[in-house]
Structure 1
Amino acid sequence: MLWRYLAGAAAARTADEMSGPALLIAGLAVTGSPVVASWLLAGLTVSAAAGGPLLGVLLDRARRPGRLLAGCLVAYAGGLLVIVSGLGRLPEAALVAVAVAAGLVGPALTGGWTSQIPAVAVAARSGRAGGPSGSDAARLGRANALDAMTYNVAGLAGPALAGVIAGGPVAVLVCVVLLVAALPAAWALPASAGVKTRSGVGEELREGFGAILGNPVLLRATAGSMVSCAGTAMLVVSAPVLGERLTGSTGLGALLLAVTAACGLAANALVARARGPRRWDALLVWGTAVAGVGMLLAAAAGVSGAYWVAVVAAGVVGLGEGPQLTALFSVRHREAPARLRAQVFTTGASLKITSFAVGSAVAGPLAAYSVGAALLAGAAAQAVAVAVLTAGRPRSVRDV
């Protein structure tokens, strides 16, 4: 059960990571307009903030949440097919509207899947679904680390596939194939433990946000991850510029992001192999701090002019970001009420996407002015995130 889930999640998330660059390349190749291409990409991401909380409500209500996730995969794939087949044929505004509609279900490919991990981890051992307790908690910790690894794999493979495959439209079709490949795993996800009381959607949305705002641990983790994600955007935008400054090649700059993803994957593999209780709250703080140190090193690479320093810096960022993501998932699973878990995860995913978009918008002009300044801003954001994560935090934290 767990390995089938991981295979499906990896396929869906690779398609998610690949779809943005693929649409960007396809729009540029077919229309010749970078404006249209950027609008398609913006449309696909901007609606996630609105779609995530509502999707979480529907997942929390669903008796078979996997069936709803499967429907989201079909909707996302269908949107991509309409766009790629309509480029050059349908009005550009209509295609952007389709991208916005497809983006509404985007959080299903990230937080929506992760919210199902407790049921999958327990069902994999005993054939039953339910929340973790006792030895189930250790199994859930390992499952969270493995789930976080699928994000690292997707972050590594998605953009690389989009760049390697000849022709933007073909890359979009590969995204669709990956989404279809994930359908059986989504369909087979365990049933929920029970159906919650059906109150109004508006009331449930308020409850979901209240679960985050009313729980100091969840609030710190959510706010800290948002600030950290905005800082990560600084590195993502700056990497090609840094590579061009150091080597004359933006491609070698993009390679730095692959190094970050690979080191995050390796770090999470070690977390998954660890035995015994983990202090997830502490790991969340330390992972964020290590990522900040890596961004400081990247800024130093720009000053020294040494590309190898930038490679080391990218690796250090990955060593922090990988366990950071695992710890974030574990804290959410531990603190979120079972009946609101999906909403907490999809809302968290939506907020991180929005933070990344804000960080990217700031990073663009900042990196154009000074790539070192942009990287220092990213490091500063990680420092602020650490401060948020530790503000009001008790000295003793719970193990899971």
Structure 2
Amino acid sequence: MKRRYSLRLYLAGAVAARAGDEMSGPALMLTGFVLAGSTTDASSLLAGITISAAVGGPVLGALLDRAGRPGRLLAVALVLYAAGLGMILLGLGRLPFAVIILIAVLTGLLGPALSGGWTAQLPRVVLGDQLPRANTLDAMTFSVASLAGPALAGGVAQALGAPTAMVVSAVLIALALPAAWMLPARPGRARGARTTSVISDLAAGMRVIAGRQALARATLTSVLSCTAQGILTACIPLLGERVLGGAGRGAVLLSCTAISALVANAVLARFPRSTAPDTMIWASALVQAAALALATWRQPVVLIVAVLIAGIGEGPQLAALFAIRHREAPEHLRGQIFTTGASLKITGFALGAVVAGPVVTWSLPGALALAASTAVLAALAFFALPSVTVNSSEDRAMSS
């Protein structure tokens, strides 16, 4: 009898892939600076591999939805992403920088495979009654990755050099290949040939995201929350320098956020049905807003407490977002909805960081206040969308 795919294997693969992804950003920045000799070039590399995810996510998701064995396609995406990191490393200092940027952009197209593309497969791994707890555990892998990835990048770069950190990040992603390759196939009745084009599937997925009130609300609130998080991230070096006594100490703040998010989700995993995910989405945004407002005091102890509170908001919000996507997404569009959502969040984070740059230079408290205001806007946006839903007959039409 064929053994059932293990949730532990799924989580192990997710942690490896996502830790490698989280490690690749700092490693890419450090390697770009060491080999290209310019902070501008290093930032351009990171921007190229990040921003292109907004384009790649929906298309990758649509292809995953059309695949009879989506795990195989996911494994290919992981191989190509790891190979792209290797090509960037080998090309720096040898190829024209414009070519390196192009490689980074093409590699970034596959980035959503490590986040939304993976999570979209969870309902085929666990049974319905087990999904809420598994969903929270899946969200915890992001916190583990965001905690371990940057720390590994800094430690390996310090001990063995920045290029080695790039190699280790690619190896971590490659370690997830067996878990991805063995992901369950679609049920036999769902594996028939699709009669619609990829463009039609993309349009259908966008209609579902925009047309289902719960999904639209959760998507908008999460994207605005990510924008606030991007603004906070841009403030981290100055907060470290002015409040903690050194710009490098700002990284401790991100670690505190990741730890509290992990702990909050660990508690939530014990009581997975304690709070409705729709309530958790907007309430978590308000928790983050309160934390960001508290950070404007710029006192060391208060600042540490503030980022810990921010993590308490971020972790459960991610788990709630996954729960809503699993609940609302039609089976034939699940992958696209997850990867599109991941792309939108990445874009929101990048936009927040870009907008915050000049604001931080002008006023650090002003930037933190902007982040808090954006988080409040995220909560208000949840209630601002009209009640419009996609009905079941339209779902059936899109799946035919």
Q: Give me the TM-score of the superposition, normalised by structure 1.
A: 0.92
Name the structure 2 match of 1:172: 166
Shift of 1:254: 1.5
- 1:40 pairs with 9, 21, 45, which one? 45
Identity %: 51
Aligned partners of 2:345 and 2:279: how far apart in 1?
20
Q: 2:132, 2:272 within 8 Å by CA — same for their partners in 1? A: no
Name the structure 2 match of 1:267: 264
Aligned partners of 1:170 and 1:320: how far apart in 2?
34
CA offsets, 1:66-125, max 9 Å, x none? 101100100001001111011111111111111111000000000000111111112xxx
- 1:391 pairs with 379, 384, 388, which one? 384
CA offsets, 1:151-208, max 9 Å, x none? 0011111111111113211110001110111001101111112226331111111001
CA offsets, 1:326-371, max 9 Å, x none? 0011011101111101100000000111111111101111111111
Aligned partners of 1:191 and 1:79: how far apart in 2?
27
Aligned partners of 1:343 and 1:392: how far apart in 2?
22
Flag structure 2 segments of 5+ consecutive residues without an equivalent: 1-5, 388-400
Aligned partners of 1:159 and 1:273: how far apart in 2?
28
Indicate how the Cα distance of structure 1 residues 38 and 276 shifts in structure 2: closer, same or farther if over 3 A, else same: closer
Shift of 1:276: 4.3
Match status 1:294 vs 2:299: no
Shift of 1:248: 2.4
Give, as a single letter, the amino acid of the residue that structure 1 aligns with 2:276.
R
Q: 2:222, 2:281 within 8 Å by CA — same for their partners in 1? A: no
- 2:33 pairs with 11, 28, 33, which one? 28
CA offsets, 1:123-156, max 9 Å, x none? xxxxxxxxx3xxx2xx111011000000001111
CA offsets, 1:236-279, max 9 Å, x none? 11122112111320122210110000000000001111154641
Flag structure 1 segments of 5+ consecutive residues without an equivalent: 123-131, 395-400
Match status 1:149 vs 2:146: no
Aligned partners of 2:386 and 2:198: how far apart in 1?
33
Shift of 1:43: 1.1
Name the structure 1 match of 2:213: 216
Aligned partners of 1:62 and 1:338: how far apart in 2?
12
Name the structure 2 match of 1:284: 281
Shift of 1:393: 8.1
Name the structure 1 match of 2:397: none
CA offsets, 1:274-329, max 9 Å, x none? 154641111111111111111111112x2xxx211100000000011110100011
Aligned partners of 1:270 and 1:393: how far apart in 2?
33
Q: How does 1:332-351 map to 2 (within 5 A)?
A: 332-351=325-344
Aligned partners of 2:87 and 2:202: how far apart in 1?
31
Aligned partners of 2:337 and 2:7: how far apart in 1?
22
Q: How does 1:1-400 map to 2 (within 5 A)?
A: 1-122=6-127, 132=128, 136=129, 139-166=130-157, 167-193=161-187, 194-195=190-191, 197-274=194-271, 276=273, 278-300=275-297, 302=298, 306-391=299-384
Aligned partners of 1:392 and 1:354: how far apart in 2?
21
Q: 1:107, 1:350 within 8 Å by CA — same for their partners in 2? A: yes
Q: 1:283, 1:324 within 8 Å by CA — same for their partners in 2? A: yes
Q: 2:132, 2:273 within 8 Å by CA — same for their partners in 1? A: no
Aligned partners of 1:307 and 1:342: how far apart in 2?
42
Q: 1:61, 1:198 within 8 Å by CA — same for their partners in 2? A: no
Q: 1:243, 1:307 within 8 Å by CA — same for their partners in 2? A: no
Pairwise CA RMSD: 1.3
Give, as a single letter, the amino acid of the residue that structure 1 aligns with 2:16.
A
Shift of 1:390: 2.5
Give, as a single letter, the amino acid of the residue that structure 1 aligns with 2:131.
L
Shift of 1:392: 5.5
CA offsets, 1:207-241, max 9 Å, x none? 01011111111111111111111011111111221
Q: 1:246, 1:307 within 8 Å by CA — same for their partners in 2? A: yes
